[in-house]
């Protein structure tokens, strides 16, 4: 594979740029990067990582079938009918690609066991992989292209998530505003992956981002006060990505400044508090995908140190009846997205 450079091929024909220096917008740079990877490939370590993540997501989908909410989501999808285009994991009936992406995204996220990127605290595979697999099955895309689509979709999701990470705050600005970064940036990554699987060109990939910004969503209040709605988030994100790519194929277009524009993605979600270099620095040469790790426990990431501590106590013979008393806590920035009913 050859290295991608933003200088030569990020200026999209027929779609003007509006950056102060006249250069390509953020979505145009991401679309250029995606189109290059579709044609030229991705590094070997990224390919291996994508294979592992795809297997992980499929396993989570199978395991999540035991949940009543999974049966509800699948039943909802089957009730919609439509053309037989793609597979819901564990079901024998083909459904439309967007509905398959929705169902599999719900399954992948429902056990809270999906992979995690830090410090953005994203679970990107649960949105991107279902979207890419559904679009690829519908389009008849090759396995090679599907792997590339997943790789780029994950990279896009992570980079957009990191654009909302404030190192001084020690937390994601998305979370500070009550937003679920996983499904919001996951929808954008899903759109790029689906667009690549459908064979859209550079302009089409940029347009898919432009459309999906109006569909991405996710509110994390259920983390505080309960509800099963969070299990829907990655399904809705995957569905949005596939739907956007399909609509672009039919002629819909999006704004080139959809990310950094005055009324764009980062203004809407982060109130303009974002870090654009996180989107572009090292794009094409430095990949985040291999660094996304698999959860050791099916629980919120910030509870894992407590689980580790409990296991360490047990290994040393310290059991609950022998404890005089104990307490545990999180740093305040971590409490907000995880659990803080009193706040």
Q: What domains lie within the chain, and their CATH numbers?
A: 6-295 (1.10.4100.10), 301-343 (no CATH)
Number of other residues whose CB lies within 10 A of the CB of residue 206: 32
Q: What is the chain's alpha carbon radius of gyration, rounded to the nearest angstrom? A: 20
According to DSSP, residue 257 is labeled: T
What distance in Å separates the CA atoms of residue 259 and residue 26, rounded to the nearest whole number? Answer: 7
Tens digits of residue pLDDT in 78-121: 999 999 999 999 999 999 999 999 999 999 999 999 999 999 98
pLDDT at 169 (0 to 100) = 83
Tens digits of residue pLDDT in 140-194: 999 999 999 999 999 999 999 999 999 888 889 998 899 999 999 999 999 999 9
What distance in Å separates the CA atoms of residue 11 and residue 28, rounded to the nearest whole number? Answer: 7
**Taking 70 as the threshold, does the pLDDT of residue 276 lie above it?**
yes
Cis previous bond, 119, omega within 30 = yes
181-197 helix and 202-212 helix, angle to the nearest 10 degrees: 150
What distance in Å separates the CA atoms of residue 149 and residue 139, rounded to the nearest whole number? Answer: 13
Tens digits of residue pLDDT in 15-33: 455 555 678 999 999 999 9
Which region among 36-50, 67-81, 183-197, 303-317 has the lowest average model confidence (pLDDT)? Answer: 303-317
Taking the model in full, what pTM does it have? 0.90
% of residues, the chain, pLDDT over 70: 87
For residues 111 and 234, the answer to whether their CB atoms sit within 8 Å is: no
Number of other residues whose CB lies within 10 A of the CB of residue 65: 14
Q: Write out the two tokens for 185.
A: 């940036």
pLDDT at 23 (0 to 100) = 87
Quick one: which H or E segment has residue 165?
A: strand 165-166
Helices (H) and strands (E) in the chain, counts: 16, 2
* Dihedral sign from CA coordinates of 64, 68, 69, 70: positive
What distance in Å separates the CA atoms of residue 238 and residue 103, rounded to the nearest whole number? Answer: 9
């Amino acid at each position: 594979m050859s290295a991608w450079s933003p200088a030569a091929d990020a200026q999209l024909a027929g779609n003007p740029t509006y950056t102060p220096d006249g250069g390509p917008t953020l979505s145009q740079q991401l679309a250029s990067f995606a189109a290059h990877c579709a044609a030229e490939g991705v590094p070997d370590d990224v390919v291996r990582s994508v294979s592992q993540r795809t297997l992980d997501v499929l396993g989570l989908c199978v395991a999540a079938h035991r949940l009543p909410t999974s049966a509800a989501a699948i039943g909802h999808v089957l009730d919609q009918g439509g053309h037989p285009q793609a597979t819901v994991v564990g079901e024998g009936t083909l459904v439309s690609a967007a509905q398959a992406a929705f169902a599999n995204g719900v399954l992948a996220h429902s056990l809270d066991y999906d992979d995690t990127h830090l410090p953005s605290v994203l679970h990107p595979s649960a949105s991107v992989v279902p979207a890419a697999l559904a679009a690829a099955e519908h389009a008849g895309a090759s396995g090679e292209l599907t792997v590339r689509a997943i790789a780029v979709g994950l990279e896009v999701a992570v980079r957009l998530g990191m654009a909302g990470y404030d190192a001084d705050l020690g937390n994601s600005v998305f979370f500070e505003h009550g937003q679920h970064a996983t499904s919001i940036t996951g929808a954008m990554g899903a759109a790029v992956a689906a667009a690549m699987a459908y064979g859209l060109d550079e302009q089409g990939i940029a347009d898919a981002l432009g459309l999906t910004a109006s569909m991405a969503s996710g509110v994390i209040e259920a983390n505080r006060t309960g509800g099963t709605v969070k299990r829907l988030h990655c399904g809705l994100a995957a569905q949005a990505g596939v739907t956007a790519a399909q609509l672009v194929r039919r002629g819909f277009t999006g704004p080139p400044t959809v990310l950094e524009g005055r009324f764009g993605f980062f203004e809407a979600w982060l109130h303009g508090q974002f870090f654009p270099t996180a989107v572009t620095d090292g794009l094409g040469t430095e990949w985040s995908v291999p660094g996304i790790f698999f959860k050791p426990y099916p629980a919120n990431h910030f509870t894992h140190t407590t689980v580790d501590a409990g296991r360490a106590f047990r290994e040393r013979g310290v059991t609950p009846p022998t404890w005089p008393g104990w307490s545990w806590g999180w740093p305040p920035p971590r409490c907000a997205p995880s659990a803080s009913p009193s706040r």
